[in-house]
Amino acid sequence: MPTIAPPVRRPMRLLALLGAVLAFGAGCAASAAPSPPADDDAARIGAGAARAPGTDYRSTALADGRTRVSTRILTFDGETLDLTFELPAAAGRDSLREFGIHDAELESLRAACLAAPRCEQAAFDRQTTRYYREHALRLRPVAGQVSRLSVDIAEVVRRNRARVRPVAQALRAAAAARGRDADWTMRAAIALVQTGLLYRRPALSEDGRQILGFYPPPRALEQGYGDCDTKAALLAAILQNLGDTPLVGVHVRRHYLLGLAATPRAGEAVITHGGRPWVLLEAAGPAQRAPGRIADSTQAALARGEGLRIDPL
């Protein structure tokens, strides 16, 4: 490693802390540690999670780079729904390239700073923070602790809406064939994410990138699984292709779910934000939960208010 003479300081502080930052960035929630399942049936969670009887999910890489997904799920009405759609070529790969951290990219930033006439720590910090932001990550200082990296769910959803549009198109086609309305279509999307995809935490790294245990929506569809924040981002991206109903992400300690701008029905779980009610929506599964029906563990986390954050989507 080259030595830089004073008064220039070697810009290594953020790089030295990177491992500690990532240690706090992994897990189901968008900002913290490994999560308990949103569903209370923990026996079905994990790498060996079983599918509900009568359901299936198959992802096939095609010769032209596209991915074909064929899935069979149960709707909230108990009907069997078969869906087939094709994701754009390299959608998952491209979504990963613009997300997460690659050591070689950070090393390139460091080398560029070292090669500059003056390489100040503050300038390097700004460049590194901008790198995180460009890769859909947020660096959040925590008083008395190491700063934490979290997934910028809103940015991930924005970047990947178009890539998951074929899912919305397949859902609309299924609704039209059955003579169903927009509410049925939305609920079918929820059932797809909750129970079509297995609940499983992605790895901390993939293809040389550190991804904090999170998959962008196209990659989640290609792999057929995700945990709470991965599934929430996927569901939000699909729903935004189905309509213009506002959505928010709801972060509580060790969990992530969605809020839907709607008039709540009796018994539905809601939060109030910005002067309006938001009907809460679990994306994680594996249990099938209609809008407004949340897990006991989620209700308890909301009641405690620990780590509560609302992300406009």
pLDDT of residue 125: 84
- Which token pair is 227? 């945990």
Residue type, 277: P
CA 133 to chain centre: 16
pLDDT of residue 217: 98
Residue 4 lies in a domain: no
pLDDT of residue 23: 39
Cα separation values, 89 from 22, 58, 68, 93, 287, Å = 30, 17, 10, 9, 31
Length of the chain: 313
**Contact call for residues 256 and 270 (beta carbons, < 8 A):** no
Range of 251's domain? 13-41+53-312
Q: Which residues share a beta bridge with 205?
A: 210
* C-alpha–C-alpha distance, residues 206 and 14, integer Å: 22
- Which token pair is 209? 């990138």
Q: Which residues of 198-226 are buried (b: 16+ CB within 10 A; e: fewer)?
A: bbbbbebbeeebbbbbbbbbbbbbbbebb
Considering its fold, how many domains does the chain have in total?
A: 1
Residue 178 lies in a domain: yes
For the entire predicted model, the pTM comes to 0.86
Residue 5 lies in a domain: no
* C-alpha–C-alpha distance, residues 81 and 85, integer Å: 13
Residue 123 lies in a domain: yes
Residue 169 lies in a domain: yes
Residue 2 lies in a domain: no
Q: Which residues of 122-146 are buried (b: 16+ CB within 10 A; e: fewer)?
A: eebeebbeebbeebbbbbeeeeeee
Residue 8 lies in a domain: no
CA 149 to chain centre: 14
Query: Which residue spans within the chain are E strands per DSSP?
Result: 56-61, 67-74, 80-87, 137-140, 148-151, 198-199, 205-206, 209-210, 225-226, 247-252, 255-261, 270-273, 276-281, 309-312
- Which token pair is 22? 């990532």
CA dihedral defined by 38, 43, 44, 48, rounded to 10 degrees?
130
**Contact call for residues 32 and 151 (beta carbons, < 8 A):** no
pLDDT of residue 21: 52
Q: What is the mean pLDDT for each group of 10 consecutive residues in the chain (313 residues)? A: 33 43 44 38 43 87 96 95 96 95 90 85 86 91 75 97 98 98 97 95 92 97 96 98 97 94 94 96 93 93 91 95
Half-sphere exposure of 309 (CA within 13 A, CB side): 18
Q: Which residues share a beta bridge with 258?
A: 249, 281
Long-range contacts of 158-163 (CB under 8 A, 24+ apart): 159/95, 159/98, 159/216, 160/95, 160/216, 160/217, 160/218, 160/233, 160/237, 161/237, 161/240, 161/241, 163/87, 163/88, 163/91, 163/94, 163/95, 163/217, 163/218, 163/237
Residue 166 lies in a domain: yes
* C-alpha–C-alpha distance, residues 131 and 101, integer Å: 9
What does the H/E/C string look like for 115-137?
A: HCCCCCHHHHHHHHHHHHHHCCE
